[in-house]
Structure 1
Amino acid sequence: MVGLLALFAAMMGLHYHLVEMRRMAGDPASQGWDAMTGYALPLMALSRLTAFLVLPVTIAAPLAILPFVGWLGLGGRIGLFAALWFAGFFTAMALFARPENFYWAQLVLPAYVAGLAFVPRALGELLRNSLGRSERQS
């Protein structure tokens, strides 16, 4: 995994170098990719690109997190991989995407929203575990 990340970083460095070689002195400057918009951007994107668009933001944002809860509740290798994948993707959006790049969320949207299918199981296990612990403490 570390080797793959190192290869990715090396290729990004090579990409930067090749772009800089071809840039002319009078070329317009890019706005950059360090907007640091935070997790509000992926949440807003998920809200704008799904049926949550018709809901108020105070309802749409928590609902946009539910698929992530579903993937976490799935457990196992697939659930862990999916949760880490989405967390990494949304963190990259939070750090590097500008507000007009909200459409990046479309890259993972179908798989992410599939996590809604696992939400009942995840919430059931959460409720069952919390009730089991409260009974043991009594």
Structure 2
Amino acid sequence: MCRLFLAGMHFNENVKREQASSKGQPLFKVSYPKYKKGKPTAKPVKTKPTFGYVSELMHLVFTEVFSEPAPFIEQLKTVPVPADLSSQFERVPKGDVVAAHVARFSRGAAEADQRVESQRTGRQDLGTPGVS
């Protein structure tokens, strides 16, 4: 949420930047977008972004929050933090996972050999369901 709020503040402060100029002439950059099949397009160069909101945030944090941080700490502790998604699953030893991977591909090769043999002889392999 903090990143989202910071991104919003940065955007709001810099949304109306002017076009940069050099010696009174507006500056442009040339891009070659794929959607135009490489046809060049001129885009205006904007002035450098400002970061005035940072000093306002620093002032707010050091005057409001750190003057008496106890109520903010209590509120922070009430915010629910979900567990990692990976913690929902049982951990399996790496060796077992690798063995299953290798066995799966070995089994696939053996089944393919059986299918080729049954096609060559014209007999259906009754031991493997769904193979004709």
Q: Which structure would you say has the larger Rg?
A: 2
User: Which protein has the bigger strand share?
Assistant: 2
Q: Does TM, scored on the shorter chain, surpass 0.5?
A: no
Q: TM-score, normalised by structure 1?
A: 0.22
